[in-house]
Chain A
Amino acid sequence: MNKAILSAVLGAALLATGCSNLQSNTASIRDLNDPSVSGHVLAEQVCSMCHGVGGNSINPTFPRLAGQQPAYLVEQLKAFRSHSRSDVAGYQYMWGIARSLTDKQIDELAQYYKGQIPVPGPARNAGLVAQGKAIFLNGVEATGVPACASCHGPQGYGHDGFPRLASQHDNYILKQLSVFKHTNDRYTGMGTMMSPVAYNLSGDQAREVAAYLSSQP
């Protein structure tokens, strides 16, 4: 019995060692303080644990990064690194991750996610989506909310420093709108533009826009 067990354990060990040899050409490094590790490796070995492989996260605590605008990602990672972005989830999760990233690694991470294919979000209530689409494309004239599309693009794909919002988790969009509306935690860089927009958006309107964007491909 014991010999059989030992054989099984050793067999599993040998199998794993074999896998290790197959793996030898691919980096498996999760060191966040090694500037020689590429952004691509960090994205797969570290970021994927929360943001999903390819940047399509499952839990809405973590934003989807697939297809995100590189300039936006670079600005956010540098803001985490310098602690100028201090929303609660941001500092709890991202300050530590970003603390030793080099500019080169940040650029490589941004390019990696730009090259990933976004997975469309789940379908949302059709009524909410229709209302959200109207706000996204036309704004809310009565309260002076500008059309989101004027900066984020007609499909919500973003450009340059304006982030891609299409297929983003609706809960993440809602939380960020709340951060912009109620705090100065993201009052840095391009984020300064969002505070007055979010301030004039009601809770219902925010939910409608988030539902529309999360359901977009």
Chain B
Amino acid sequence: MNILNWNKNFNRLREAVSTQAPVELWRTAAQKATWQGVSIALLATVSTVASMDAAAVPLFARQTGQNCQACHAGGQFPELTPYGRMFKLTGYTLGQRTSMPVALMAVFTSTSAPTNSSPNVPGSPQVGGVGTPNNGTPTFATASLFAGGKLTDSIGMLAQYSFDNYAGDTGQSGRMFSDNTDIRYAKHIINNQTDLIFGFDANNNPGVEDVWNSSGAWGYNVVPGSAGAGPSALQPLLLSQGLGQQAVGAGAYMYWNKTLYAELSGYRTGDGVFSFLTHNYGQTYIQGTNPYVRLALTHDWGTSNAMVGYTYFDANVYEGAVGSSLVDEHRDNMVDFQYQYLLDPSVVTVEMADANEQIFYGGGGATDTINTFRAKASYTYQAHYGASLSYFNASNTANNTSFQGCADGTAGNVGQCGAEGWTPEVYFMPVQNVRIGLQYTMFSTVNGTTLNASQNNTTMLYAWTAF
């Protein structure tokens, strides 16, 4: 069924919605935080976006005039198709400048996570869920404004500004902040003999510039509130986005013959003139310029494409204030793999990432190691119905007692700690601007032990929309 038919089907829904403006309905939903409110807002959103034609959807779709699934595998944000990767690597410049270079995204979630104060002790007092403080309560989780797109024939940008409704953890003191920003300059030399893209990139989150969705930004469990690796696992900086909106970086990249991708960037603290690209709270400082290297080999054949890649990131992070605290070196190495099958009506994506971080503590302290393995397979049918299955296994040593240790801070937990589990998910996209999904995260290990790990299992229902 195509979107034109959906338009007809939703005419009746539109008539059922009150004449109140969608924005007002959203505000109502956020304030009341009830499913009734969320439902009304969603209905208003669905009926509004359904009345638009295929070209009247978010920023890049307006620019190219194409459907979301041209760039996103099965229309499923954020996984990219080969064309979507080319669009990003050529600097978001394909298409035509629009009179409205902005888009809005919002996510509603309801998370049920019976997490106790001690994840391995049954019956201990409840302290809140894994993904959201409003455990089990429908939540207007976050909203983002995207701006940018094609600026010149060679320069393009994606800038995200977000509102985290629960940054103040009570739902009453949300926070707006500068989110992922990616600015590019790109050239494409292409003819029957040569195919070379090269460009420059500036961004505020190591890995946000990547096009294979393996790093933390635009990666795994991108829906806010997803349980991910749970409450008791540390993750390498690249996956945890530990320097997201804390550092700014610039570098150069090239993609040759749709076969070899190489990038070298350097990151520094996003303070001073760059502070507009960082959170306006809790600045993390890094020492000097820190290297980020990305290599990938890709191949397209028939209905398939595959990638095997490597990422290196070495960041010297101050434990506290600049000049008055020790500096810890976080050295990340990640190997990742992706396979994609694309042929209407089916889209399959399989992703794997194996990341290792060595932490060398300043002052001659002990070293620690974090290992994280993640895999995800997703299937989408007709860009409407889909399911995915994710696996995560994160573990870390806790040799340095001044470091976080096991993430829950459990005393005496020196040695290995971490989490392992699976997240099955089903999702439905009635129109290309709306996705409704249900995730269930099953923990088999929490804090390095299987003891009562399953009591941390998390259910999350979410509704995502962008227009």
Contacts and interface: CB of A to CB of B under 8 A. Distances in A.
**Majority SS of interface residues in chain A?**
helix
Interface in A1-50: 2, 5-6, 8-9, 12-13, 15-16, 19-20, 23, 26, 28-34, 44-46, 48-50
Nearest to A44: B190
A61 interface: yes
A30 B90 contact: yes
Interface residues of B, number: 54
A91 interface: yes
Nearest to B190: A44
Contacts of B305: 59
Interface stretch (A94-102, A130-138, A148-156, A197-205): A94-102
A49 B82 CA distance: 8
A44 B94 contact: no
Contact of B196 (A9, A19, A60, A175): A19
Contacts of A46: 94
Contacts of B189: 19, 23, 26, 28
Contact of A92 (B54, B188, B302): B54
A9 to B, nearest CB: 5
B303 A60 contact: yes
Interface in B181-207: 187-192, 195-196, 198-200
Given A9-B266, A49-B94, A59-B300, A95 B65 contact: yes
Top 3 A-B pairs ranked by shortest CB distance? A96-B65, A33-B96, A92-B67
A97 B264 contact: no
A88 interface: yes
Interface of A: 2, 5-6, 8-9, 12-13, 15-16, 19-20, 23, 26, 28-34, 44-46, 48-50, 53-54, 58-61, 86, 88-89, 91-93, 95-97, 99-100, 171, 175
Interface in B64-111: 64-67, 69-70, 82-83, 86-87, 90, 93-97
Contact of B54 (A23, A58, A91): A91
B187 A20 contact: yes
A8 B314 CA distance: 15
A29 to B, nearest CB: 5
A59 B343 contact: yes
A88 B86 CA distance: 22
B312 to A, nearest CB: 11
B302 A12 contact: no
B291 interface: yes
B55 A59 contact: no
Interface stretch (B125-133, B160-168, B250-258, B319-327): B250-258
